[in-house]
Amino acid sequence: NAGVTQTPKFQVLKTGQSMTLQCAQDMNHNSMYWYRQDPGMGLRLIYYSASEGTTDKGEVPNGYNVSRLNKREFSLRLESAAPSQTSVYFCASNRGLGQIDTQYFGPGTRLTVL
Amino acid sequence: AQSVTQLDSHVSVSEGTPVLLRCNYSSSYSPSLFWYVQHPNKGLQLLLKYTSAATLVKGINGFEAEFKKSETSFHLTKPSAHMSDAAEYFCVVSETQTGANNLFFGTGTRLTVIP
């Protein structure tokens, strides 16, 4: 039982390049989330998927797209990377039982955009 | 609207002394509150959560937190700090009654433990 896994762990991009961050969970969770973490700002929600087949914007969605490929996988795509997207990205998942439900986090992807 | 304020960006304690990390929240509803810990270059791990049962919540590694509605606080404490407690701690409030829950994070408190 690996929990939440993310690939890659590290990535360096040039401005304007595109890439997809991958996330998978093996806990049979319904809901999945993408966050970014910037120094001194805690984590902020980019997009989430309440259940397979649905996605919704979070607090900071601009410049990103997501795909809930199936129940296990939730990917985050940067179509044209910008230096402002340099951050650490975390994927999370939970059962989707509302506000009492614990979210489980992956190890993160550290992205640098030059 | 939900929000969380962590009153100290950095706390430094000596090993074996008590730890107090302060958190105040703002919530329109009866909130669910969490404390997560992040060790350097690692993901986030749940320490404990409050979901309107007991107001004193016990978590892992000897940590506990008390929900005080009158003070809108959810401070994290531990009687005796250990070197392995050095990490970043996040107070988090959760909203949404059903389905996916949106988490609102504080800006974090970095705990340093001095040997």
Query: What are B39-82's pLDDT values in tens digits?
Result: 988 889 999 999 877 889 999 999 999 999 899 999 999 999 99
Does position A95 have pLDDT exceeding 70, yes or no?
yes
Q: How close does chain A come to B94, measured CA to CA in Å? A: 5
**How many Å apart are CA A101 and CA B7, to the nearest integer?**
25
CB contact under 8 A, A99 and B34: no
Q: What is the percent of chain A where pLDDT is above 90?
A: 83
At B52 the pLDDT is 77
Task: Summarize the confidence of residues A8-30 as an average pLDDT.
Answer: 96
At A99 the pLDDT is 75
CB atoms within 10 A of CB A8: 11
Tell me the pairing of strands B64-68 and B56-58.
Answer: antiparallel
Of A4, A48, A102, the CB nearest to B46: A102
At A66 the pLDDT is 97
The whole-chain average pLDDT of chain A stands at 93
At A96 the pLDDT is 83
In 3D space, the residue among B60, B10, B51, B19 whose CA is nearest the CA of residue B32 turns out to be: B51
Please report which confidence band the pLDDT of residue A47 belongs to, taking 50, 70 and 90 as the band edges. Answer: very high
Q: What backbone torsions phi and psi does residue A30 show, to the nearest 5 degrees?
A: -85, -35
Q: How close does chain B come to A47, measured CA to CA in Å? A: 10
Looking at chain B, list the stretches that DSSP marks H as alpha helix, in order from N- to C-terminal side.
none
Q: Three-state SS for B20?
A: strand
CB contact under 8 A, B105 and A100: no
Q: Are A31 and A45 in contact (CB under 8 A)?
A: no
**How many Å apart are CA A107 and CA B104, to the nearest integer?**
19
At B1 the pLDDT is 67
**Per-position b or e across B38-68, b if 16+ CB within 10 A of its CB:** beeeebbebbbbbbeeeeebebeeebbbebe
Q: How close does chain A come to B43, measured CA to CA in Å? A: 4
Contacts of residue B98 in chain A, CB cutoff 8 Å?
97-98
Q: What backbone torsions phi and psi does residue B85 show, to the nearest 5 degrees?
A: -80, -10
Q: Are A89 and A35 in contact (CB under 8 A)?
A: yes
In 3D space, the residue among B58, B54, B56, B64 whose CA is nearest the CA of residue B19 turns out to be: B64
Q: What is the percent of chain B where pLDDT is above 70?
A: 95
Instruction: Give the range among A82-86, A98-102, B31-35, B53-57 with minimum mean pLDDT.
Output: A98-102
**How many Å apart are CA B41 and CA B94, to the nearest integer?**
24
Q: Does B57 touch chain A (CB under 8 A)?
A: no
Does position A101 have pLDDT exceeding 90, yes or no?
no
